[in-house]
Amino acid sequence: MFSKGGTTKDIKTPRIVDVVWHNGEFIKWDDARVHVMSHVLHYGSSIFEGIRCYSTKQGPAIFRLREHMQRFLNSAKIYRMDHPWSMDQLSDAAIELVKRSGMDQCYIRPILFRSLDEDNPAFGVNPFPNPLACYIGAWDWGKYLGDEAIEQGVDVCVSTWNRLTPNSMPAMAKSGANYMNSQLIKMEALLNGFAEGIALDDRGYVSEGSGENIFVVVGDVVLTPPLSSSILPGITRDSVIQICQELGINVKERTIQRAALYVADELFFSGTAAEVTPIRSVDRITVGSGGRGPITEKIQKIFFEITKGERKAPGKWLTYVNESKATEDSNGYRSATAEPTDQTGQPFLTYQTASLD
């Protein structure tokens, strides 16, 4: 994905959806612009989400759309970003964006940030005078850590940069400012020849990667750091936990020492971009057999079967875009509903949102 030095990309430019949802309407990609003096550019005042839409036999299906949008709303609430958009409006916008894209699969990026009132500009740290702007864009994004990483795993390092302390920056919020910390972790790893870095929390316990949660397999037990280790409450992380529970695998949230990474039988990342990616070495110490372990492979297999629509999920995880149809109630309120079926023809998901109209 990157050159040995970590600074030169050797990946193809992704296909971009040529429209963007902005404050309730669709505009051209080229028209999605902000003023250079916007608050977000100077003070990092943004929150965002990353959501995958997968290709299935029933057409494009968005993975855990409402859970992602709920986290988006939670992040906004934490940062006192009072906005008019509801869960249903944002969900419907994402569905409509995928429909307009014509893509079978894509990555969806909602973002909410503090912009600039050009008639009455405000330039200080105080964010309240600045208007909020909400956009949702999308593009076709492949395997975040490389196509070969899903099977072969990746080489990672423990970063010299710690994760943010809980009472300095809220790790529970997916905010743009937090990702300056992530960039330091990622750049250090790339420049030292690794695909990714693992950060420790302020107490020295394992936290997460620059943009992924982490799981440690010891014997037949799967461990993952708790929220108290300054991690983002990952949607894919939660999916992995539920898959483990369905398989009868003993999964526990607990603090993890750095040394436990070196002696683990298996390690893997989880995340919307990374999906379920094995880790084959940490600080050039081989993990297990140096490749994808059997438990990781089993979890990974089921995860991809679910996202392809080939296996029933533990919950209502897929929103089938082509089967989401607008209906109108007696009050003139429109919603999108979907009742997709699994391979046996039995319905296993009912999804309902409100539209923008």
**Annotated catalytic sites, by residue?**
174
Number of Cα atoms under 13 Å in the Cβ half of residue 10:
7
Q: Give 96's contacts (C-beta < 8 A, 6+ positions apart).
A: 21, 26, 355, 356
Q: Give 129's contacts (C-beta < 8 A, 6+ positions apart).
A: 117, 120, 122
Decide if 187 contacts 226 (C-beta within 8 A): no
List of E strands, 91-237: 106-114, 132-139, 154-158, 196-200, 206-209, 213-218, 221-224
Angle CA 218–224–225, to nearest 5:
130
Shortest CA distance to 233 belongs to which of 249, 253, 250, 217? 253
How far is it, in rounded angstroms, from Cα 151 to Cα 136?
Answer: 32
How far is it, in rounded angstroms, from Cα 92 to Cα 325?
Answer: 10
How far is it, in rounded angstroms, from Cα 239 to Cα 237?
Answer: 5
Decide if 150 contacts 307 (C-beta within 8 A): no
Amino acid at residue number 314: P
Number of Cα atoms under 13 Å in the Cβ half of residue 13:
2
Q: Give 332's contacts (C-beta < 8 A, 6+ positions apart).
A: none
